Amino acid sequence: MQTISTWPRSRAWLQRHRFPLALALGYAAVFFWLSWLRHATFHTQAWDLGIFEQSFWNTLSGRIMENNFEFANHLSVHFSPFLFLLVPWYALWPGPAVLLALQALALGSAVIPLYRLAARRAGNRAAHVLCGAYLLYPPLHWLNLFDFHEVAFAVPLLLWAVDLADGNRRWWAVVVLALAASTAENMVLVAAAVGLYWLLTQRPRRFGAAVAASCLAYFILVANIVMPALGGKIYRLDRYANLGATASEIAVTVLTKPAAVVQTVTRPEKISYLAGLLVPLGGFSLLAPVALVLTIPGLAMNLLTDYAPQFSGRYQYDAVLIPAVLFSAFSGLRFLIIKFPARSLLILLALGGAALGGFFWWSPLGLRAYPWTQFRADRRSEIYGPLLEKIPPDVSIAAATNLVPHLTHRRGIWMAGSEPRQADIVIVDLWDRTGFAGDDQFRAYLTNYLERGYQLQRIAQQILVLTPRSP
């Protein structure tokens, strides 16, 4: 009887959400195909698909979240208990495909809470345009296409938390927010910002205050007890060496030397980075100063650093900002529609035009930046394919970064140059010496193996394979 009575409600829910569901599935299909094509043509890397692929494979064998690339349990590098929710799915189909599919589905599914929120507060027409702008959003595409990352799953979870709280389902919002915080330790700070936003905008105030305080307490616990107990430490402070060597030194610099902070965050490449975040959504985020509270953790992480990938807009680092910028853009959109109801169509056209323009200018699938080489076979992939088929399953391997994600179902697999002991087979790529500081280090590495009796085979002038010399 329970099942019979539940089905009509489920069917009604599916009918109400058929538009965002169709968008989510369409997005997931396109980006899974592109992600898989990138992997199949040997453009994924040890950092980061290889890390997660071996961590999941080891977990199925009882070696919980271990991998050979971080030289530690992954949870000591990024405390991500959320990953255990993905293990059963990986167990059904062990391999990179399931990880890439889950990531594409998760990022596509974020249109559902976005649609619900926008339709409730600004009408269906605004919801349709906002969902389209999200799916065209360049930082989303770069996040999706750069291997696999746990932080991608925080994007839909954070938007679901905001939607549920807005719909007065606060305890469900807290549960979902906790899941978002569990994706990585830096996402705990974003969850705390969500609590702060609730404190500023919802009653009773103590709800938001309790959420923010709980998130900060959890962050302190993870940073000072959990991760050190696992042999790790919180975040990469070395990426903020321009502000100080320790967390306290960085905090003192930020608080007492505003000129240094302004100089750091206003560099031309960081202004360009901010444009890539805001312009594809029409800059509407700037009209919602309270909602911009949600962007504080992500902007602090990505603008205060001198580590260029974090403010390039092309990697996973924007996951801390995507839901915040989307929600603040929605808040700005709603403000304009309420203030100028007679011009709502023009406002929506402006958002749609900005989304299309941003897509063509900044997206990896746009006209300017399309990385054709990332999705098609080349001479290297023609060599790698047959080479993989000849490698026995029980040998240890030190390999070039793009080969690693295809070889992770073994205990002995390392990035060439970082193996703790001699590997049975070494495969290096003369055109990509990732992991080596320079030519001298690369030559010394090869010489070491040759002096130990290995023989060298050169394939197509590009790939070097070293194997023990036959007796």
Rounded to whole angstroms, the Cα distance separating 62 from 312 reads 37
For 464, phi then psi, to 5°, come to -110, 130
Nearest of 187, 196, 109, 173 to residue 144 by alpha carbon: 109
Mean pLDDT, the chain, integer: 91
Cis (ω within 30 of 0) for the bond into 386? Answer: no
Side chain identity at residue 92, one-letter code = L
**What are the tokens at 69?**
């690339």
Confidence of residue 462 (pLDDT cuts 50, 70, 90): confident
Side chain identity at residue 395, one-letter code = V
Rounded to whole angstroms, the Cα distance separating 328 from 287 reads 8
pLDDT above 70 for 391: yes
The pLDDT, as a whole number, for residue 427 is 94
Size (the chain), residues? 471
Average pLDDT over residues 146-174: 95
Rounded to whole angstroms, the Cα distance separating 133 from 332 reads 14
Rounded to whole angstroms, the Cα distance separating 223 from 232 reads 9
Indicate the range of 27-36, 139-148, 239-248, 364-373 predicted with least confidence: 364-373
The pLDDT, as a whole number, for residue 235 is 67
- Name the strand (E) or helix (H) holding 443: helix 439-451
427-454 per-residue burial string, b: 16 or more CB within 10 A, e: under 16: bbbeeebebbeeeeebeebbeebeeeeb
Q: Which residue has the tokens 């980061």?
A: 48
Burial class (CB in 10 A: 0-12, 13-18, 19+), 172: middle
The pLDDT, as a whole number, for residue 5 is 60
Under a CB-based contact definition with an 8 Å cutoff, are residues 375 and 34 in contact? yes
Q: Calculate the alpha carbon distances from 213 to 151, 193, 216, 383 in Å.
A: 22, 10, 5, 54
pLDDT above 90 for 397: yes
**What are the tokens at 313?**
């807009």
For the chain, the farthest-separated pair of C-alpha atoms sits apart, in whole angstroms, at 85
Average pLDDT over residues 415-429: 92
For 455, phi then psi, to 5°, come to -105, 150
The pLDDT, as a whole number, for residue 1 is 43
The pLDDT, as a whole number, for residue 300 is 94
The pLDDT, as a whole number, for residue 321 is 97
Rounded to whole angstroms, the Cα distance separating 111 from 132 reads 9
Residue boundaries of the structural domains of the chain: 19-235+266-362, 379-468
For 466, phi then psi, to 5°, come to -115, 130
Among the residues of 2-123, which ranges form H helices?
Answer: 2-16, 18-40, 51-60, 74-77, 87-92, 96-109, 111-122
Rounded to whole angstroms, the Cα distance separating 107 from 153 reads 7
Rounded to whole angstroms, the Cα distance separating 315 from 393 reads 32
Average pLDDT over residues 265-278: 96
Q: Which residue has the tokens 């799953």?
A: 153
First and final CA of the chain: distance in angstroms? 73
Average pLDDT over residues 380-396: 89
pLDDT above 70 for 340: yes
